[in-house]
Amino acid sequence: MPESDETYEDSQRVPRFEARAHPGLVAIVIAGQPAVRALEVSPDGLEIGRTTPPGLLGEDERVSRRHARIARRGDEWVVSDLETRNGTFVDGKRLEGSGTFASPVLVRIGRSVLWAVEDISPFAGADRIPSLSDGPIVGGLLRRAWGEIALASKAGDTLFIRGESGSGKELGARAFHDASYGASPTAPFVAVNCAAIPEGLSERLLFGAKKGAYSGITADAEGYVQAADQGTLFLDEIAELDLLVQAKLLRVLETREVLPLGASRPQKVTMRICSASHKALRDEVAAGRFREDLYYRIGRPEVRIPPLRERVDELPAFIQRELHAVDPRLNASATLVEACALRTWPGNVRELLRELRRAAHAASSDPELVVYPHHLASEAGVPMPVVVLPSDAPAAPGTSEPPQANAASFTDEQIAQALEDHGGNVRGTARALGLHRNQLRRWLEKHPELKARDDNGGSGG
């Protein structure tokens, strides 16, 4: 037999959409509204302003005629502010002159947000805004993953999905099911969270049991495998199954027969298997926690669902939809989108939605009806801290009232940013920071370069 350079794993890999990368910008917010517009950046760079590129940011009144220039130099981005009044912000910080940054980069100009990425291919072409309806929000990278899943559905009857908790693995499994069976109402989709199965019950729940198989069974009990016959069985967090059940699952997959507990004859089943885990199955095999033979049966093809922090183009749609679900009058500031994009969201979409609802309720009592970064909890979207305290460490003393805020509690940049967020409104900025208006006015007297307005609309400072 002639030798081949192709390994088994190579032969089971889903074909990728390989193409030359096109570095560029993805406009995800334009003049305060969700958007998806991809722009390729030439080696000479791209100037951003009110009229360039044509039709991009012309409706954003806070963008200067010549606002910023963005260029690609090797593996880095060079961003230059063109001495604008409202400034250019890179990854949440105001840019002074020019700077060099590694990909990806978030650039905020006026009320618009641009995302500089190494490849705009997933976002180019249709300028599609992810759905703002009740359906799933699918951005460019998820569309690419969905394409890989569709290919996998044609290649065989198994698929393994790898992704973090809350990233949308079940949506991927449903995409696999839909690609396999179309819109057939008779093809069942059975989703099982293996991590939530009580210890000792996984065999009965998966494979079913006959009446009298053991004490308490007074009727035949159908298992998840039988329920998925002629459809798709989705086993989420499959790495949590114990080894004995893994062996029985492998036999079902090999023989296409299931033997319920207490039964003497197996039942024929025909189904597709989609499994998922946040763990790398190869590592679990190496550690002896997952059967190697089962891995070779279901571990390929593999499709990765990217975490939310890599799907920045979806954030404005998520934000707008969740805010409007709480109060249709609420709007998101560009700085809120920026703040969400700069956080890692270890809980992914699940965590984002919870925190957005909380922020929306916090902002709904504000007459401005605009949600800003300060409405987000400080711990929202950031990893859990790892704190190790000595066993004899005293508890922190409690206080019945929060400390009184003062201007010295904030940096000049933080106050200036809050002032910008509130359009120069002294009262709104002071309320957001927990300051008395007179404290903010005294601070403004030391910074005459910043423009502010009193509640009656006149200038202040």
Helix ranges, 256-347 (H)? 281-286, 292-298, 315-326, 334-341
Report the pLDDT value the prediction gives residue 239, as an integer from 0 to 100: 94
pTM: 0.75
Helix ranges, 95-192 (H)? 140-155, 169-181
Average pLDDT (386-396) is 48
Average pLDDT (330-348) is 94
Strands 271-277 and 231-236: parallel
Average pLDDT (435-450) is 78
Mean per-residue pLDDT over the chain, rounded: 83
CB 78 within 8 A of CB 116: no
Report the pLDDT value the prediction gives residue 436, as an integer from 0 to 100: 76
User: Measured in whole angstroms, how far is the alpha carbon of residue 381 from the centre of its chain?
Assistant: 10
Strands 98-102 and 76-81: antiparallel
Average pLDDT (122-138) is 69
Model confidence band, residue 415 (pLDDT cutoffs 50, 70, 90):
confident
CB atoms within 10 A of CB 410: 17
Burial of 357 per CB tally in 10 Å (0-12, 13-18, 19+) = middle
Residue bearing the bigger pLDDT, 49 or 445: 49
Task: List, for residues 370-381, the tens digit of each pLDDT value.
Answer: 999 999 998 999
Query: How many residues does the structure list for the chain?
Result: 461
* The two three-digit tokens of residue 260, written as one number: 């319920």
CATH class of 24-120: mainly beta
Distance CA 112, CA 264 (A): 67
Average pLDDT (232-257) is 92
Residue bearing the bigger pLDDT, 65 or 389: 65
One CATH from 3.40.50.300, 1.10.3720.10, 3.30.420.40, 3.30.70.3460 for 140-304: 3.40.50.300
Average pLDDT (25-48) is 92
Give the E-state strand segments of 257-315 in sequence order.
257-258, 267-268, 271-277, 302-304
Closest among 130, 140, 78, 65 to 107, alpha carbons compared: 78
Report the pLDDT value the prediction gives residue 10, as an integer from 0 to 100: 43
Residue 117: phi, psi to the nearest 5? Answer: -130, 160
CB 312 within 8 A of CB 115: yes
Residue 426: phi, psi to the nearest 5? Answer: -65, -45
Q: Where do we find the tokens 């699952």?
A: 249
Task: List, for residues 60-115, the tens digit of each pLDDT value.
Answer: 999 999 999 999 998 899 999 998 989 999 999 999 999 999 888 999 999 999 99
Asked if CATH classification 2.60.40 holds for the domain at 311-375, the reply, yes or no, is: no
* The two three-digit tokens of residue 385, written as one number: 């801290």
Spell out the domain ranges in the chain: 24-120, 140-304, 311-375, 407-460
- Spatial strand order of the sheet with 76-81 comes to 46-48, 68-73, 76-81, 98-102
Instruction: For the chain, give the percent of residues with pLDDT over 70.
Output: 82
CB 316 within 8 A of CB 337: yes
CB atoms within 10 A of CB 419: 24
Residue bearing the bigger pLDDT, 439 or 300: 300
Residue bearing the bigger pLDDT, 10 or 252: 252
CB 67 within 8 A of CB 49: yes
Give the E-state strand segments of 169-230 in sequence order.
189-193
Report the pLDDT value the prediction gives residue 127, as an integer from 0 to 100: 54
- Triad 85, 89, 92: Cα angle to 5°: 140
Distance CA 315, CA 29 (A): 10
Report the pLDDT value the prediction gives residue 453, as an integer from 0 to 100: 63
